[in-house]
Structure 1
Amino acid sequence: MSLLNHSLGTLAREIPGATRVFHHYRLDYCCGGNALLSEALAERGLDTAEVIARLEALPARNGNDTDWSGAGNADLIDHILARYHEVHRQQLTELIGLARRVEAVHADNPLCPEGLTVHLEEMRQELESHMQKEEQILFPMLRRGLFAPAQGPISVMRLEHDDHGQALARLLELTNHLALPADACASWQALYTGIEELQLDLMQHIHLENNLLFSPSRHQEVQHG
């Protein structure tokens, strides 16, 4: 079957490196993971042949790639906690400090991302609340294999993931899609590099939850760890 007839979430799950291709073309594979690749390309007006070629050119999975689709719930949750929850807390603390510095020093520059510090602070608050709900309520249920009773919390988490996706879109608006002035200082450069990393990490984080951990088919096939 053609890649075009697969959903973005499926391709992100099954093809190592696909998420970076999607990130490059600004295709939403986490919150919009149910959309078919053909639909997403048409909506964005992208060159189908070019994107397909990029996906087909990706190397096969190697020993350094982890296929989380076959992992038990406990292992996947442990990975999410260590690789994303703790990392997001560090990322946002650093980015808020950098944004505050850039906005204070470069307020007269027309490219200065005015309002970025406040937005990042709001993102930290919302994301911290979200992660705590997962850590204290949802993840313990999934560790015990209580998938049916977890449907309510999962629905809430999916809705909040959509909110996180909108917050990421707002980040790009505030930063003019991470466009730096030619004479950007080191702090400004570090800020935008960090925002790009946060965006990629948060999208991958949401992808693992929406398209793997929360998937009904997974809980029919994978024994909880």
Structure 2
Amino acid sequence: MTTINENMKLKDICFKIPQATQVFRSLNVDFVTEGDRTLARSAEEDDFELTSVLYELNNLSKEPKDGIDVSFMDQVSIIKYIENKYYDDLLDELPVLYDYFEKMAKKYKKDKPEFTQAAELFYNIYREMVVHIEVEQEDVYPLLKNYYEHDDQTSYEALKPHITRLLDEHKNIVNWFSQIRHLTNNYTPVDANEPLNVFVLKRLEDNDKNIMMLLHLENNLLFNPFREKEANV
């Protein structure tokens, strides 16, 4: 059984204990684009109490999400997993959720003006993710499959600008969700008896969880061999 310690990297903790992503999200810790940081360094930079977080992490279930340990998958299998697990649901969900979020922001415009700002940030996420998915499915994933299966150098060169742009998009999306968590007090309903805000904030939290996991898989697993080669060139 793995014991989490302060010298482990955030990304490795998340692969060993998938539920750790919920702990890090609640603390506004970026495990997606800053996954190479150790837990100890993150505690200093993100200002959380290391001992209590270590205790919490070591008491989480170690069972992999859906019974699937993605850290043992090869890159082509990860692509299939991402497409099957996330893409269709996100493309269906995001525009509908944005409409509901906009309605909620208007409803609470006077008492909770921060919801208007949060809705604008979510619109950015919605539009970015739609383009993100389209580019990956049409261009990036076919090139990655060629590169990983055949060590195709033409694909490698074609991927460079794509990967740079996608990593920048990851940073934007992580930052926007961080701001939304702050503005919504970690998705806490204004009125637990009012269905609209309960529904919207629960769906927002679910999408935060799913999108962060998707970006984590890309940043820290799918793109890793490509990024390591880039770093060593």
State the one-letter code of the partner of 2:194.
C
Secondary structure of 2:137's aligned partner: helix
Whichever residue aligns with residue 206 of structure 1, its letter is L
Residue of 148, 163, 173 corresponding to 1:164: 173
> Paired residue for 1:65, among 59, 64, 67?
67
Runs of 5+ unmatched residues, structure 1: 221-225
- Output the CA distance in 2 between the equivalents of 1:154 and 1:88: 21
Note if 1:210 corresponds to 2:219.
yes
Residues 4 and 13 in structure 2, CA contact (< 8 A), matched pair in contact too: no
The CA deviation string for residues 31-77 of structure 1, in whole angstroms up to 9 with x for no partner, is 22111110111222222111111222233336942111221323211
The separation in 1 between residues aligned to 2:14 and 2:100, in whole angstroms, is 31
Structure 1 segment 49-88 matched on structure 2, within 5 A? 49-61=51-63, 64-88=66-90
Amino acid in structure 1 at the alignment position of 2:49: D
> In the alignment, is the contact (CA less than 8 A) between 1:91 and 1:194 conserved in 2?
no
Question: Which residue number in structure 1 is paired with residue 156 of structure 2?
Answer: 148
1:200 aligns with 2:209: yes
**TM-score in terms of structure 2 length:** 0.82
Give the structure 1 partner of residue 10 of structure 2: 8
**One-letter amino acid of the counterpart of residue 104, structure 1:** K
Q: Is the 8 A contact 1:161 1:206 kept in 2?
A: yes
Amino acid of the structure 1 residue aligned with 2:72: G
Deviation at 1:164, TM superposition (A): 0.8
Q: Deviations over 1:136-166 (max 9, x none)?
A: 1110011122473333322221111001111
Residues 30 and 210 in structure 1, CA contact (< 8 A), matched pair in contact too = yes
> Counterpart in 1 of 2:20?
18
List runs of 5+ in structure 2 lacking aligned partners: none
Q: 2:104 aligns with which of 102, 115, 124?
A: 102
Amino acid at match of 1:77: I
- Distance, in Å, in 2 between the alignment partners of 1:40 and 1:188 is 32
Supply the distance in 2 between the matched residues of 1:19 and 1:161 (Cα, whole angstroms). Answer: 16
**AA of the residue aligned to 2:177:** L
Contact 2:105 2:116 in 1 (8 A): yes
Partner of 1:28: 30
Which stretch of the first structure deviates more once superposed, 51-60 or 103-112?
103-112
Q: CA RMSD in A?
A: 2.7
After TM superposition, which residue ranges in structure 1, 4 or more long, deviate above 6 angstroms? 217-220
CA gap 1:169/1:112 in 2 versus in 1, 3 angstroms: closer
Opposite residue 54 of structure 2, the aligned amino acid is: I
Q: Is the 8 A contact 2:192 2:198 kept in 1?
A: no
AA of the residue aligned to 2:214: H
Q: Which has the higher helix share?
A: 2
Q: Which amino acid aligns with 2:99?
A: G
State how many pairs are aligned. Answer: 220
Residue 204 of structure 1: how far off its partner (Å)? 0.6
